[in-house]
Chains A and B, each alone.
Chain A
């Protein structure tokens, strides 16, 4: 038994959740990949299945490696990561691969793999915030000493992501605020930031409507928000098709691989994967998925409570929060509670960068739990 868990350290529940999500991911991606397979690989779905399994495998490998790193090193690493991420974001913005008029991807030379830089930036920023918050706990109410060092990287990173990917920028901004909130930043600063954020967004919209070239995605944002506000279901093909998928699933679902809406939904393997899950596995499947992400979040809170240092605590809660938050955004879009955005369902949606960075994120959380457990559970430590 012990041998079996040789590589599985830290919180076993999180491991379990991750594993279940990965299984679900393989099943659903394989079911919904057909259109893509026919478009690019003349119907070779196996190619995509293997690629996806391979990516998940690498991801789990990364997770297993990262969890062994003592989390105190992430403090320094986060600084480094942020310094790498910001130039990369700039590079992406100006030279990135353009998919649907959004420059979100960098093509990594040699292995020729597209890479969404915002995923790296997101992880780097959250870890960096945890670092600064931990360091400034004593002067946390001071505007100049604590607030500015926190908010400047947040604004910088979000501003660089925003032109190509509004929803990720907004989401990262919200996550940053939540982490600052947990890190005891005074409410007046947070509320003021929210206010400024809204003003900033309005400003962006104003600029975009005057010179649309600066924000090529502006038309899409506007349309999505407007059609969501008006409840114009007809104008919003994707949301409509997602609802049809959900309605078709019923309580028990149509069964694995039985989705029909996968042929009508754009990106059934990423943005709208939750709709396919509901169609195939029904409300029961949906409840399980929601439950898994909630478990992940609450384990994160638990780990945070047990962590011996503020940095670890903030890391655990901030990172699990970011995963759950993104998952809820994705599910909310599928059920029509939020406007259409392109957020993948963490760990479940197909896509290399997203899966890998989610795995690394979980690895970091596990590392925190690992350290915490070693302290609080000496029995286990000795058993090793």
Chain B
């Protein structure tokens, strides 16, 4: 068949060429490239997440407040679990066989091939005994994690807690994978992005028995984790601990701030809880308990509770009235109890005495002058003009809006404005006589404790404040957020504050003052009492103060619910905190003992809790 000769060899040649290509290809896969060789030997590269240590938190004196402790998660890859001695395994973990089956099913539901958590947060001691025997159980291995610990168990509301990330967050933020921990409240939530660091990856070769054979590609694909940034916060751990001790068996809050900087020294909300109750596994058990408690220990009263400020508001009224010129430092008013109720006290001849004795009718008159300035003959219109001006002035005292402190959940408080009363009573249907309760800090006014403390700061600084904050220093950063270094002015001259401060000094230090219990022999404390009317029971007791009078170092607000008059309980607590902070000791152990022993939780609440 000669005629075929010419073509058939071409085909032969093509095949030879392909044979050569195959051989070259084989040579490449087997010898030149090691990519597949590793797999052929071990068959599994396991990607392990390396968790970065979460940033630590120190107090202002560099005392460690929050740290991490190693814990171990037992992981399982269902596909690799083969013929294990289930009974022995259950005994090792101290779980029942049903538990075992349930957990295995859950893991299988997630994935047969990917590891999922079988047992969470095994302590170091338990880990030691499990580790020893784990080799016998194919498909199980240990992943190291860290647990958050709170030394001294203080400042739970400030520090917050961490918990497992929710599915909602998982969707929004690709940083997290299921089972990761995330800050849930307080500073843990506020500074989550700084504290969490960056996760790393490690690739290890695992043989069929799940034994680690070594690093994959000598670890060149591994990504080392970046530790979270450490934070130093403004809290004074000793003072915090002391304040919490004083507030035991009381409902309320304490906020202490360094006036010159706005740094929060102490923030207590009572009742509180032990932050170590909300870590790791325990959270599931403890959280519902705390959430159901009728005294709401999870609720941070210091930033979330609105109270009428009571008489401490007279400080604001005085300052605005002096600045607006509706009164002079020497304006006096008679204590006319037909206008508004008052206690028995001598005639207040000037601002100083009005503050000292906290005369209600005096401030009725002051507020009347602020609201009805005679700028319009119609008292309704006149009141509108007056209230608008007053409202703007009050807002500058950090009231009626969120201060912007650096823990989540802060409430703004409430200062009524023209629109509010228009809505309430109708336009031009209200005047000073309708709203006069505001003059003494009652009525439709709401202030949160941290704003009260900030008011004490303004007094101490004679007219300005920095936004109260916790952050003092961020590791590797020179600055803290700019908003915490911005000086807010009240627009009231420093001189006008001096008259008021004289009064505040007299409140504590002079006979006839309303807070004689706050007196400390070695320090000039300036303060103001308040009693917030409480329609539901005993009045709330409030006291704000700063000390020393010249060059103040601390401003504090103490709020004790249902404890009656401000001078009785709130004032001595504040003085103890001031003395502890300034001198480090307590000169009057009797005063301390009285506070420590007092149980001011209403009996009805006690009954309810049982």
Using a CB–CB cutoff of 8 Å, the interface residues on chain A facing chain B are: 137, 178, 181-182, 184, 240, 243-251, 260-261, 264, 278-279, 283, 286-287, 290, 294, 297-298, 301, 304-305, 307, 309-310, 313-314, 317, 321, 324, 328, 331-332, 335-337
Given A184-B7, A313-B4: A246 in contact with B26 (beta carbons within 8 A): yes
Using a CB–CB cutoff of 8 Å, the interface residues on chain B facing chain A are: 1, 3-5, 7-9, 11-12, 15-16, 18-19, 21-23, 25-27, 29-30, 33, 35-37, 39-41, 43
Partner of A294, one of B5, B9, B19, B39: B19
Given A246-B30, A290-B22, A321-B11: A305 in contact with B16 (beta carbons within 8 A): no
Residues of A within 8 A of B7 (CB): 181-182, 184
A178 touches B11 (CB 8 A): yes
With the chains together, A324 CA to B8 CA distance in Å? 14
A337 touches B15 (CB 8 A): no
B36 touches A305 (CB 8 A): no
26 contacts between A and B (CB under 8 A): A181-B7, A184-B7, A247-B30, A247-B37, A247-B39, A248-B40, A248-B41, A251-B30, A264-B43, A279-B40, A287-B23, A294-B16, A297-B11, A298-B12, A301-B11, A304-B8, A307-B1, A313-B1, A314-B4, A321-B11, A331-B22, A332-B21, A335-B22, A335-B25, A335-B26, A337-B25
B23 touches A290 (CB 8 A): yes
Known A247-B35, A298-B12, A328-B19; further 13 A-B contacts with Cβ < 8 A: A182-B8, A184-B4, A244-B36, A251-B30, A286-B23, A294-B15, A297-B12, A301-B8, A304-B4, A321-B11, A332-B18, A332-B21, A335-B26
State the main secondary structure of chain B at its contact with A: helix
Residues of A within 8 A of B43 (CB): 244, 260, 264
- Closest Cβ–Cβ distance, residue B18 to chain A (whole Å): 5
- Closest Cβ–Cβ distance, residue A294 to chain B (whole Å): 6
- Closest Cβ–Cβ distance, residue A304 to chain B (whole Å): 7
- Closest Cβ–Cβ distance, residue A33 to chain B (whole Å): 20
Residues of B within 8 A of A283 (CB): 23, 26-27, 30
Given A247-B29, A305-B5, A317-B4: A182 in contact with B11 (beta carbons within 8 A): yes
With the chains together, A137 CA to B2 CA distance in Å? 13
B4 touches A337 (CB 8 A): no
B30 touches A249 (CB 8 A): yes
Count A-B contacts at CB 8 Å: 103
- Which partner residue on chain B sits nearest A332 by CB separation? B22
A304 touches B25 (CB 8 A): no
With the chains together, A182 CA to B14 CA distance in Å? 14
The 10 A-B residue pairs whose C-beta atoms are closest, nearest first, are A248-B40, A247-B36, A313-B1, A335-B25, A244-B39, A247-B37, A244-B36, A243-B36, A247-B40, A246-B29
Residues of B within 8 A of A250 (CB): 30
Residues of A within 8 A of B21 (CB): 332, 337
- Closest Cβ–Cβ distance, residue B588 to chain A (whole Å): 75
A286 touches B22 (CB 8 A): yes
Residues of A within 8 A of B33 (CB): 247
Residues of A within 8 A of B22 (CB): 286, 290, 328, 331-332, 335, 337
With the chains together, A246 CA to B12 CA distance in Å? 26
B30 touches A301 (CB 8 A): no
